[in-house]
Chains A and B, each alone.
Chain A
Amino acid sequence: MPTETDIFEQLRQELRRGTLILAVLAQLRVERYGYSLRQALASVGVEIDEGALYPMLRRLEGQGLLSSEWREEDKRKKRFYRLSAEGEAVLARLADEWRSINDTLQPLL
């Protein structure tokens, strides 16, 4: 039998799942590699597990929302990601959707 904490944790994960993509896309208006992106997200209070972040970046790139290139930095090859033109458009629409949801839900909460 799941406890109240277990149920809350499961619901919290579900709630966060969609918002993480929004946060990742927003942070990639500036070019970043995976590790620096994770640090940037953590600095604004968005914690994300690497195990989820890296596959997400590949999926978003596969969908054409991100572009990437390998470059050397600090004597190591790193893969840099950045929002594509299509990603910019999708992010703008998602941001509008987010604000709309927020406006709708706010009076209810």
Chain B
Amino acid sequence: MDLLDRYLGAVAALLPAAQRDDIVAELRDLVLNRIEEKEATLGRALSKKETEDLLREIGHPLAVAGRYGPQRSLIGPEIYPFYIFGLKVALALAAFVTVIPLLVVMATGELDASRLISRSINDFIPTALILIGAATLIAAAFERGWIKTGDLGKWRVADLPVLPPRKTMFSKTRFEALFELAAVVLFVLWWTGAVTFPIHPTLEGGDGRLSWTLAPVLMSLWWPILGLAVLQAISSLILVIWPGAVRPRAAVEILGAVSGLALAALLWPAQPLIVFSSPDLAYDSLANLQRTVDLTFKAVLIVAVIIAGSKLLIEGWRLIRGPRVWG
């Protein structure tokens, strides 16, 4: 019975001390009954291998001992949806706290793009893992009742936020507006030279191997481009801090759209907007680069005109209609 003792010893080591002897005695009886039943069927004693197979059939000591535990799952089905929601929030938070310092570092020009990517991954993973671990511990504590749900379980439908029936293609959430505001502010800082990025908005530049020259019209439109960015920032800011101000925001958007159309009309005939030259690159490579950048600018201008035109129509309608009351 050496195998049986070893098996039961392994199970016993995993059981709570108070119930250990009781459960092991019962398991011993169960196994012996199974052995006797099999021996009666075969008409002989079981071999060592057959005994081992039978014990394996009963289950791994970890699984067998685990079935006697009071709790079978770390996070049950009641808590699970809240846990998943918490994980999503934790991951978004990890991304946020990773990206913001990196944007600052990037803005000050202390890191190049490749190091920036590796650093963002290096920063994100441990932060995300710590937050996921914390969320899991909290969910498990709720599951076991160590943390009482209290008033959390007494939610009211009337407390839920009022949302529009569906988000339309032309509507923007406050989060999107906040993101847009951050992007526009970064652009303004770059355009005014307040922060240094790897590529600067100067008339000419390059690293010796590849040089570029901006079309003079771009620098002569320095102030209008800055003005357009400021208008966009104002529009985003209105949506973030005062979402109900539909008409003021529509007015700013219309002003921005008209300015955008005017800018596009001035920039289109002045193409190419950037000219590359290099003493090292082969003519074909340089021509390819020039063609790609020219096409990109063309596409950007066309899309910008379409967006500005659509904005004129949509924001004009919003200016007339005013705020819409949901719910």
B59 within 8 A of A: yes
Say whether B29 contacts A54, CB under 8 Å: no
Q: Identify which of residues 11-54 in chain A touch chain B, using a CB-to-CB cut-off of 8 Å.
A: 33-35, 50-52, 54
Q: Identify which of residues 53-92 in chain A touch chain B, using a CB-to-CB cut-off of 8 Å.
A: 54-55, 58, 70, 76-79
Say whether B68 contacts A58, CB under 8 Å: yes
* Minimal Cβ-Cβ distance residue in B for A55: B67
Report the minimal beta-carbon distance from A89 to chain B, rounded to whole angstroms: 24
* Minimal Cβ-Cβ distance residue in A for B68: A55
* Minimal Cβ-Cβ distance residue in B for A58: B68
Is chain B's interface secondary structure helix, strand, loop, or mixed overall?
helix
Say whether B63 contacts A51, CB under 8 Å: yes
Say whether A77 contacts B25, CB under 8 Å: yes
B151 within 8 A of A: no
Q: Kindly state the separation between the CA atoms of A52 and B29 in the bound complex, as whole angstroms.
A: 16
Q: Kindly state the separation between the CA atoms of A51 and B60 in the bound complex, as whole angstroms.
A: 10
Say whether B32 contacts A54, CB under 8 Å: no
Collect the chain B residues with CB atoms within 8 Å of residue A51's CB: 58-59, 63-64, 67
Q: Identify which of residues 50-66 in chain B touch chain A, using a CB-to-CB cut-off of 8 Å.
A: 58-59, 63-64
**Given that A51-B58, A51-B59, A76-B32 are known contacts, is A34 also in contact with B67, CB under 8 Å in the complex?**
no
Q: Kindly state the separation between the CA atoms of A54 and B34 in the bound complex, as whole angstroms.
A: 14
- Chain A, interface size: which category? 10 to 19
Q: Kindly state the separation between the CA atoms of A77 and B26 in the bound complex, as whole angstroms.
A: 8
B89 within 8 A of A: no
Collect the chain A residues with CB atoms within 8 Å of residue B202's CB: none
Q: Kindly state the separation between the CA atoms of A70 and B24 in the bound complex, as whole angstroms.
A: 13
Is chain A's interface secondary structure helix, strand, loop, or mixed overall?
helix
Pick from A33, A55, A58: contact of B29, CB below 8 A: A33
Interface 1/0 per residue, B33-48 and A, CB below 8 Å: 1100000000000000
Pick from B30, B63, B64: contact of A34, CB below 8 A: B30
B27 within 8 A of A: yes
Say whether A54 contacts B33, CB under 8 Å: no
Q: Kindly state the separation between the CA atoms of A52 and B59 in the bound complex, as whole angstroms.
A: 11
Report the minimal beta-carbon distance from B57 to chain A, rounded to whole angstroms: 9
Interface 1/0 per residue, B1-43 and A, CB below 8 Å: 0000000000000000001001101110110111000000000
Q: Kindly state the separation between the CA atoms of A79 and B25 in the bound complex, as whole angstroms.
A: 9
Collect the chain A residues with CB atoms within 8 Å of residue B19's CB: 58
Collect the chain A residues with CB atoms within 8 Å of residue B64's CB: 51
**Given that A50-B58, A51-B58, A51-B59 are known contacts, is A77 also in contact with B67, CB under 8 Å in the complex?**
no
Collect the chain B residues with CB atoms within 8 Å of residue A35's CB: 29-30, 33-34
Collect the chain A residues with CB atoms within 8 Å of residue B33's CB: 35
Collect the chain A residues with CB atoms within 8 Å of residue B26's CB: 34, 54, 79
Say whether A79 contacts B68, CB under 8 Å: no
Report the minimal beta-carbon distance from A16 to chain B, rounded to whole angstroms: 17
**Given that A50-B58, A51-B58 are known contacts, is A78 also in contact with B68, CB under 8 Å in the complex?**
no
Report the minimal beta-carbon distance from A69 to chain B, rounded to whole angstroms: 12
Say whether B30 contacts A52, CB under 8 Å: no
Q: Kindly state the separation between the CA atoms of A50 and B133 in the bound complex, as whole angstroms.
A: 35
Say whether A77 contacts B29, CB under 8 Å: yes
Say whether A34 contacts B29, CB under 8 Å: yes
Report the minimal beta-carbon distance from A60 to chain B, rounded to whole angstroms: 13
Q: Kindly state the separation between the CA atoms of A78 and B59 in the bound complex, as whole angstroms.
A: 21
Say whether B30 contacts A54, CB under 8 Å: yes
Collect the chain A residues with CB atoms within 8 Å of residue B63's CB: 51
* Minimal Cβ-Cβ distance residue in B for A57: B26
* Minimal Cβ-Cβ distance residue in A for B32: A76
Report the minimal beta-carbon distance from B76 to chain A, rounded to whole angstroms: 15
**Residue contacts A-B, CB under 8 angstroms, 9 given:** A35-B33, A50-B30, A50-B34, A51-B58, A51-B67, A54-B23, A54-B27, A54-B30, A79-B26
Instruction: Please give 12 more A-B residue pairs, beta carbons under 8 A apart, in addition to A51-B64, A54-B67, A78-B29.
Output: A34-B29, A34-B30, A35-B33, A50-B30, A51-B59, A51-B67, A76-B29, A76-B32, A77-B25, A79-B22, A79-B25, A79-B29
Q: Which 4 A-B pairs have the closest CB atoms?
A: A35-B33, A55-B67, A79-B26, A55-B68
